[in-house]
Structure 1
Amino acid sequence: MKISYLLFISITILIMTYTLHTYFTYEFAINEAKKSASLRNQAQVTNIMKDLDRYIDGRISNFNNIAQVRQIHEEVIKSNKQFSDVDVQSIQTRTPNSTGKKIPFLQEAQSSKLSSDLREIVNLYKNEYNYDVVSELFVTNMYGANIALGAGTSDYLQNDEAWWQVTKNKQVYIGNIEYQEDYNDYALTLAYPILDESDNFIGSMRILITMEDLLHDFVNDVDILRESKKNVVLLNDDGQIIFENGNYYPGNSKQYFSHLTDHSNTIEITDGDHSFLVSYVRSIGFKDFKGFDWIAIIEQDQSVILDDFNDLRTSILISSVIGVVTAVALSLILSYFVTNPLKKMSKLTTKLGQGDFNTTMQKSKITEINAIVDSFNKMEISLKKLLETEKKLAEANIKIKNERLTAIGELAASMAHDMKNPLGTIRSGIDIIKRSLGPSKDMQDVMKRTERAISRISHQIEDVLNYVRVTPLDVKPMMIKSIIQSAIQSVNVPKNITIEFDGSDAQINCDERKMEIVFINLILNSVQAIGNDGGTITIRIRIRDNNVMVEIQDSGQGVPESIAADMFKPLVTTKQQGTGLGLASCKNIIEQHGGTITFKNDPTIFSVFIPRDLRTNETI
């Protein structure tokens, strides 16, 4: 490793250690800030929801007290006496008002003293809060007929309404927030039973409370939190927005609504490039009010929380940049005075390794490096003399080896050629003796052993001749399958060995006789590998681009890994009676055709690749 790199890495590690420590401190501070903001927002949204439930419960209680006023009881009892002998359905009237809408109640009810009192109550609320608290207020008797109207419009008879049936059963009716077309606003329906001193139902009072009043305190809390850059949202149990950014029922929902599964919690939501905290709580009611299962939410962008940490992040970045620049500067200075001379020496060493001994190392300004330069120059002179001596020795050894190999090859070829003729004579003599002998089983066995010995010697002689004798190729178009089948017929394949073909035939340009020698050797090797146990030899023929691939696979025991790498070298064999030249001859012949031969174990497969476009009609 270069000294400059080492220095650079050391300084960088020191800077990175500092940066990582600061970074984790920064991350810890950010996480703590998020936790603090989450707890604070959770407490605020919980208080907002409690205040809202308390406010709604207070409204329900206030109007329940109005329903118990003595004057209302007296008027209801009086109306019940008047209606006791009257068919209510027959006296319903509908009188148009000044706006064109129908006012479906009796004219007497509209101008009654009780109606006037109810209107005063409505006006008192309006004057106190400076907005409409009640959209609709009326009282019915026990028959469901309107007897007094304080605000809004209403049908005369109410006994078919669901809320009236609830009050008839002496229960307070609390409806849902619904849009009221008559008033172009959302409102909450409340209905109270009016009971006499004996707790008997004598009538009911119905009120529509405006959304502006229901969310009055809620909106005030929202305005306070908005100054802290927090967005407050109110959802119903279906996820629809009830209030957000000063708007009632804006008509959309929150995409993260499905994640609000707990009663209260704070989650982190990412929307594009923005990430914000969402603290929420569900309504649980107050006292007798069970709540609407609304969800109050505080959204706060995390960038607001992290504003105080921007300076810290900036200082970390500046420190890191200064540290890296310092490391680079020190590395460059060291490189100029130390690393550059060493780099030049490295280049000269590379040239020296490539055999260029005409280079010399120049002196440096640093004493220690000059000592290295002197040693280097002396080493260069010594190496040059040594390599020249070794080169002369190597050339002499190669010359002697080539001469010896040439002589051995010529002698081997001559001996093999001279042995072929006597073997032919012996084979002919054996045939004559076999025909002359009688049916003696012992003599027949002796003749068969003799023939096998002659065949084995002939095969070894052919191996020697095929390896040492390189003759030109006689190339002509041939079908590869016919060459393989001819090779099979030349090999004594035992009956317990099955040969299978896979793939279609293909035409190649090759020397038929030499290619047959290749497949004879490969098939004979497979037969000998399987032995007496029996097995299968599979021959596959495939076309790969511009080559024909022939794979010969056998079910034998395979080749020991110790000699697998040297399979195609001469004199390498696993058989006691083999010459070790068969596969070497195969490799020579395949390479003479411009192809390749490979081998692999498990299972044993020899793969031969032969070009299809070898030139024809001429010898090579």
Structure 2
Amino acid sequence: MSNGASSRLEFLGQLAGGLAHEIKNPLSTMKLTLQLLQEDFSQDKSALAMRSLRKIELLLKEITHLDEIVQEFLRLSRGHDLKFQRTDLGDMIRELVEFLGAEANQKSVTLRSQLEGELDGIIVDATYIRQALTNLLKNALEATEPKGGGEVIIRARRHSDVVMVEVIDTGVGVAHANRERMFRPYFTTKKGGTGMGLPMVRRIVEEHGGQVTYESVEGAGSRFVLLLPVDPNRRETLQAMIRVSATPEAPATPAAPRSRRRALEVKPGSPEPGETQAGES
């Protein structure tokens, strides 16, 4: 990228950040004013007051949603102040499976992990990598909901100086028309979604020197793949790993052979070696 183009992008980023701040300030004032009105009307039990309260609650909900969008935008435009430290990625994944276990049970989803090889000593910002994995796992759980349940697997393995993490679900998959837009800011198919989750995941992973890819079969499920260097200062091995074994294959069609679909249509069963399931110690 030329210096001129780089400077222009930096200027646009600063401009967008400033605009977001200008939007955030009146939003805060509006929210505070509505909360004061809500407190006043709550003392009045008349029909007019009750109708006004319902409208205030609706406005507060919309302002909260707008505020979330602005906050996500600011985080995305600024980037993250990463604090790298040696992290046991296996422990992090086991904790996430346990943490999301109750939500998975409510949705009739089997949530489990498959961990291979040495996953301790990975140099990452643990807070942001946890955020990225949590986002992918929650998306996977939500993708199974329209089908009345299913299975979600988070799988991690280390290959030389690269770690590959996969999040696989047997949910509804991604509609073909939406596949090119999945990582675009503000694009969402979820009611009440901000459309900033996947762009944030990509930003976090790329700031670690990694890469995110995915494949999906509409009606059968999806597989998201995160590639992370074990040490951000040794990123040269990442491209080799991508070429050798980690680039997802082209998405299969619903009529694909059973062997091709097996990665997406995981059948429930007893945990395999190195595998943990929500609710297990």
TM-score, normalised relative to structure 2: 0.57
Q: Deviations over 1:161-203 (max 9, x none)?
A: xxxxxxxxxxxxxxxxxxxxxxxxxxxxxxxxxxxxxxxxxxx
TM-superposed CA distance for 1:556, in Å, is 0.8
Aligned to 2:229: 611
TM-superposed CA distance for 1:481, in Å, is 2.9
Residue identity matched to 1:565: E
Aligned to 2:215: 600
TM-superposed CA distance for 1:590, in Å, is 0.5
Aligned to 1:411: 19
Aligned to 1:21: none
TM-superposed CA distance for 1:464, in Å, is 2.6
Aligned to 1:391: none
TM-superposed CA distance for 1:588, in Å, is 1.0
Please tell me whether residue 474 in structure 1 is matched to residue 83 in structure 2.
Answer: yes
CA contact (8 A) 2:90 2:115 kept: no
Aligned to 2:119: 506
* Distance of 2:21 and 2:14 partners within structure 1: 11
| Structure 1 residue matching 2:224: 3-state secondary structure | strand
* Distance of 2:73 and 2:18 partners within structure 1: 11
Change (3 A) 1:413 1:610: farther
* Distance of 2:199 and 2:215 partners within structure 1: 16
Q: Deviations over 1:44-87 (max 9, x none)?
A: xxxxxxxxxxxxxxxxxxxxxxxxxxxxxxxxxxxxxxxxxxxx
Map 1:227-376 to 2 at 5 A.
Answer: none
Q: Quick check: which has more Rg, 1 or 2?
A: 1
TM-superposed CA distance for 1:583, in Å, is 0.9
Q: Which has the higher contact order (CA 8 A, sep 6+)?
A: 2
CA contact (8 A) 1:497 1:535 kept: yes
Aligned to 2:205: 590
Aligned to 2:187: 572
Please tell me whether residue 543 in structure 1 is matched to residue 161 in structure 2.
Answer: no
TM-superposed CA distance for 1:551, in Å, is 0.3
Q: 1:463 aligns with which of 63, 72, 85?
A: 72
Residue identity matched to 1:493: E
TM-superposed CA distance for 1:575, in Å, is 2.2
Structure 2 gap segments, 5+ residues each: 43-53, 234-281
Please tell me whether residue 524 in structure 1 is matched to residue 138 in structure 2.
Answer: yes
| Structure 2 residue matching 1:531: 3-state secondary structure | helix
Q: Deviations over 1:308-356 (max 9, x none)?
A: xxxxxxxxxxxxxxxxxxxxxxxxxxxxxxxxxxxxxxxxxxxxxxxxx
* Distance of 1:546 and 1:497 partners within structure 2: 33
TM-superposed CA distance for 1:546, in Å, is 1.1
Please tell me whether residue 563 in structure 1 is matched to residue 172 in structure 2.
Answer: no
CA RMSD of aligned residues (A): 3.8
Q: Deviations over 1:493-531 (max 9, x none)?
A: 242222111124612111111112211211121122112
Change (3 A) 1:498 1:567: same
TM-superposed CA distance for 1:563, in Å, is 2.2
| Structure 2 residue matching 1:601: 3-state secondary structure | strand
Residue identity matched to 1:606: F
CA contact (8 A) 2:80 2:204 kept: no
* Distance of 1:483 and 1:465 partners within structure 2: 27
Q: Deviations over 1:189-227 (max 9, x none)?
A: xxxxxxxxxxxxxxxxxxxxxxxxxxxxxxxxxxxxxxx
Structure 1 gap segments, 5+ residues each: 1-394, 434-445, 616-620
Change (3 A) 1:419 1:520: farther
CA contact (8 A) 2:20 2:70 kept: no
Residue identity matched to 1:610: L
* Distance of 1:408 and 1:486 partners within structure 2: 36
* Distance of 1:482 and 1:571 partners within structure 2: 32
Residue identity matched to 2:153: T
TM-superposed CA distance for 1:405, in Å, is 5.2
TM-superposed CA distance for 1:571, in Å, is 2.5
Change (3 A) 1:552 1:486: same
TM-superposed CA distance for 1:547, in Å, is 0.8
TM-superposed CA distance for 1:463, in Å, is 2.9
* Distance of 1:612 and 1:404 partners within structure 2: 33
TM-superposed CA distance for 1:474, in Å, is 0.2
